[in-house]
Structure 1
Amino acid sequence: MMNKYRLMSPGPTPIPPEVSAAGALPIIHHRTPEFGEVFTRVNENLKRVFLTENDIFTYAASGTGAFEGAIQNLFSPGDKVLVVNNGNFGGRWVKMSRAFGLEVTELEYEWGQKADNDEVAEALANDPEIKGAICVLSETSTGTVNDIEGFARAASSVVTIVDAVSGLGACTLRTDDWGVDVVVAGSQKALMTPPGLGFVSVSERAMRMHEVSRMPRYYFDWTAARKAYEKDPAQTAWTPAVSLIIQLDVALQQLIDEGVENVFARHVLLGRASRQGIKGMGLELFGPDEDSNSAVTAAWVPEGIDGKQLVRMVFREHGIQVAGGQGALAGRIFRIGHCGYFDAFDIIATIAATELAL
């Protein structure tokens, strides 16, 4: 029997049909008024989703490229940085910071545990030479969402950097109100666009730090990006991913039409439905049972069951693609993504398919 394919992973995520159709439009030249009009609108709508008035730079790159660019633009070799690590992507920030010669103060927690912002404040107070603090909003590997408002408050003495790749547009993030200096994101999750675009919002404090940093950079140079954005019409410094930006334009307009606060509320409901479904099957959630965990739901695989085989069976038998665990949790947990183009029926179908597979 034919099964309808449902992509229920934490990224990439499903694409609305209107966004898919926009990708088939003829390519337009990226240095024309026509593209400039689209790009200007995208920049303004990104600010509405980021909830910021800061500049947002868009790159033809994954979120990891935008991560790397943030390190290159903010720091000099040998600088000290604090990194919160409570999952796979917090660990990636640790590795990347060290790869660029930074001295890392790592606050490491068990995967699934939320960061302790009192410990963030204490670590910064104990070492006034630390220049920046990094934390993940929604740790995609576990579904756990950190308290970024509290993190920004605890780290207000230094430049704050937040990885919001799976959280932006799904989890509440008030960039300006909370005083977050740098937010990194990608196109392929709650922004409902194919992979390939990386974003970074940059405060004026972060730009001042950028101006004195000595880390080598070229493609991701924020000065080059700002100069291009200040042109009329706005441009990118280098050749952009034209079709992806046109698709993003359509996706962002859908989010704006729904209303950003309504988008947050929808994701809270999707998270609740997913967690209740998991518990209704008699399974144990991985991580806190909280409304803030509105992008990804993770659950322990029952004892005696191969988690990798479970993920394959849910797909093979029912056409639904969930995700397995990462790192030490491979085969031990599975993850349901609900950040982006999802509704309640997607959750119901996924829970039903998982129960049938079990």
Structure 2
Amino acid sequence: MLPEQTFLRIPGPTPIPPSVQRTMSQPMIGHRNQETKDLLQTIKPKLKPVFGTEQDVLILSGSGTAGLEAAVVNAVQPDEAVLVIVTGAFGDRFVKICEEYEIAVHRYDVQWGEAVSPEAIAAYLADHPDIKTVFATYCETSTGVLNPIKELAHVVHQNTDALFIVDGVSCVGGIQTEMDTWGIDILVTGSQKAMMLPAGLTFVAVSERAWRVIEENERPAFYLDLKRYRDQLANNSTPFTPAISLLFGLEQVLTMLEEEGLNQVYERHQMMKDMTRAAFRALDIPLLTSDEAASPTVTAIKPNDFKAEALRNILKSKFGLATAGGQQHLKGQIFRIGHMGYCSPADVLQTISIIETALHKIGKSIELGKGTKAAQETLLKVDV
């Protein structure tokens, strides 16, 4: 491989479009100047459709985890009980954040690799009427599971007065998201996934219902106080110094999403998922999740006759292809392929072809080209 040639196929950070890189390299401007106000005024309406909301989407400088913590700090009173649905490592992170603030956590664990059942959550809520907030993960990055957020929102609001807070970090911008219609009260994502930016921004959208709860919350907050961001954004400003270069890039990302069309963006991600899964089925290499539970943004593979880390090492050292490994108890057992953001079916074809070659190098007996052919055929079924 060439010394500086890398292929980033992890579920974040993801590749940055060249036009976004160019935009981020423009000269710096003052964060309290009119130029920044104009920039935010342009960004605000373009962010709303990505979230499926009429609310202004708050922009914080920080990672996605900062947005998750902000949701907890602002929406949960110190003496309230919450339910956290855990389908992987990032559901577990929500638990840790809540516990750090000494919140009474009801933890509902789902086997890693499976999506949560809305009916099971409805039953759990019926048995625990004290729960004031429900936390869920839209795409569980650690397993490649997409949880049924629309249906979960329905059962939460049908059975309780609880807020429904969603971690959308590894999928918003890559899959259909209808915050207002579905009934999500707080939705969080980060810049470095389907939003095609470097890490450093987190986005938080808040429903009117959630704002009423936040206004009454006595828990103190400073940098993560969402009311400050709401009030300043109304004036096209931020309460603290924003990441200006990332805002330049964000404007270009939103322009790209508009030009492609959000429905086309979602169809592209669905196609890349289908191609990837078809390839590994053709190679007879097990997938961690079912088709019904699989995310359009990341695929988890659980090999049963070769070591996942051996393959990942060859992919990185010989071909410059970066994939992700497993987390927590899945460490060493799975590998994950990100296909989100600035990624196309052509990238998937290249990735599968490289993986087939690497499998051959580690001694896995396969028919070279079989996985690539399956991905090609999947693409050709709709792209003729």
- Tell me the TM-score range normalised by the shorter chain: over 0.9
Aligned to 2:374: none
The answer to whether residue 318 in structure 2 is matched with residue 314 in structure 1 is: no
Whole-Å separation in 1 of the counterparts to 2:62 and 2:228? 16
Whole-Å separation in 1 of the counterparts to 2:329 and 2:350? 28
Shift, 1:301, TM fit: 2.4
Whole-Å separation in 2 of the counterparts to 1:326 and 1:352? 25
Q: Write out aligned runs for 1:272-311 (5 A).
A: 272-290=274-292, 293-303=295-305, 305-311=306-312
Aligned to 2:148: 147
Shift, 1:78, TM fit: 2.5
Task: Return 5+ residue gaps in structure 2 as ranges.
Answer: 360-384
Aligned with 1:160 (options 164, 172, 175)? 164
The answer to whether residue 238 in structure 2 is matched with residue 236 in structure 1 is: yes
The answer to whether residue 195 in structure 2 is matched with residue 194 in structure 1 is: no
Secondary structure class of the residue paired with 1:201: strand
Q: Write out aligned runs for 1:1-358 (5 A).
A: 1-2=1-2, 4-156=5-157, 157=160, 158-231=162-235, 234-290=236-292, 293-303=295-305, 305-358=306-359
Secondary structure class of the residue paired with 2:193: coil
Indicate if the aligned counterparts of 2:115 and 2:293 stay in contact, CA closer than 8 A: no
Shift, 1:291, TM fit: 8.0
Shift, 1:48, TM fit: 1.4
Aligned-residue RMSD, C-alpha: 1.2
- Matched AA of 2:286: E
TM-score, normalised by the number of residues in structure 2: 0.90
Indicate if the aligned counterparts of 2:145 and 2:293 stay in contact, CA closer than 8 A: no
Q: After the TM superposition, which parts of structure 1 deviate over 4 Å for at least 4 consecutive aligned residues?
A: none
Task: Return 5+ residue gaps in structure 1 as ranges.
Answer: none
Secondary structure class of the residue paired with 1:302: coil
Q: Give the fraction of aligned pairs with identical amino acids, expressed as a percent.
A: 37
Shift, 1:292, TM fit: 5.5
1:51-78: CA deviations, max 9, x gaps?
1012311111000001001101011212
- Matched AA of 1:84: I
Indicate if the aligned counterparts of 1:188 and 1:195 stay in contact, CA closer than 8 A: yes
TM-score, normalised by the number of residues in structure 1: 0.97
Whole-Å separation in 2 of the counterparts to 1:48 and 1:102? 33
Whole-Å separation in 2 of the counterparts to 1:275 and 1:78? 45
Indicate if the aligned counterparts of 1:308 and 1:330 stay in contact, CA closer than 8 A: no
Q: Which moved more, 1:132-141 or 1:282-291?
A: 282-291
Secondary structure class of the residue paired with 1:235: coil
* Structure with bigger gyration radius: 2
Q: Which moved more, 1:203-212 or 1:122-131?
A: 122-131
Whole-Å separation in 2 of the counterparts to 1:193 and 1:40? 19
